[in-house]
Amino acid sequence: MANRRTGPLSVLVATVCLLVLVATNAEASRHSRLVPAAFVFGDSTVDVGNNNCLNVTAAARANYPQYGIDFPGSKPTGRFSNGFNTADLLARGLGFTKSPPAYLSLSEKGIRSHMCKGISFASAGSGLLDSTGRVLFGEVIPMSVQLEHFSGVVDRMVKLSGQRKTAALLRKSIFFISTGSNDMFEYSASSRADDDDDEAFLGALVDAYKHYIMSLYEMGARKFSVISIPPLGCIPSQRLRRLKQLGTQGCFDPLNDLSLSSYPMLAGMLQQLSDQLPGMAYSLADAYAMVSFVFQNPRTEAWNFTDLEAACCGGGPFGAALACNETAPVCADRDEYLFWDANHPSQAVSAIAAQTIFAGNQTFVNPVNVRELAML
């Protein structure tokens, strides 16, 4: 357990070593898993290939050769990364040798084989609202449908193992959720985006989040690992947006304001639910604080980022004007880039995020980290 008085930099550096040790032990023994299963919900930040099975636009697929260049075998898998994403690396910290597989990639036999270890229902381009992503990307899977898929898995578990064993497994498992960014992107780009409407929009978003967590709870979930919205205005696509709209360089501030304002509302909702729902526990990662910390400390003993603004894969200003597809150039020093493409972090950043979510202190993760959550 991290010392709560320890400074944020030393904690982040220390968790690099800690996560490596946990992953190494997991390779040695399957019994080192801290939880029986991990179930993943959300968007492209944690999608491991569900969108490869959907009728979506090119922007909502990550099946180009550049994606997965640092993944084992150097092949695209549907992850919006040069390698592993945060869900993959968090699963390693929890002691799993492999990340929960994409639900849509599994046959009926595959679902039965993996349902007691974990499955990923995440879909790139999706959001908390059913409408999010549909116009821009096509057949994405919103959170409501992701929960329907999970409900079907729970039904299979009950038929195979019975209600009592299923409830015991779900009660001990981790439910990892990373969503909401696409809802913010679409709201920010719409004509209704206005300072006077921001509070109402964020309130509706948090209400939707609350509904889904309560639904998961009713299906048996008790331990929730939630990652909040990062500073979206600082990703390459939004830096390009500011350059086009304002003619100046820097982060797109209105989107950052939305991201920052959402955290206390999300934190308050989770606290309220944990007070109301017996046995519920959660770990909320402050993604805004985590990314801001890396911006302020690009070089430490644990990492060395030389480019905090441009995408490693892409072209034009900030590497965001041209998509990361089969013709896009790729930087050579990928571990030194904060961003992999116009909208997603590099594997190096995902590793920092996973390490912090797993073992960080209350500077970044509240009220407990995921390691502590797993032990409850």
Residue 200 CB coordination number (10 Å): 11
Residue 278: is the preceding peptide bond cis (ω within 30°)?
no
44 is catalytic: yes
State the catalytic residue, choosing from 114, 123, 283, 344.
344
State the catalytic residue, choosing from 47, 183, 286, 341.
341
29 is catalytic: no
Phi, psi of 316 (to 5 degrees): 80, -170
State the catalytic residue, choosing from 43, 44, 225, 259.
44
Evaluate whether 260 touches 184 at the Cβ level (below 8 Å): no
88 is catalytic: no
Give the catalytic positions in this structure.
44, 341, 344
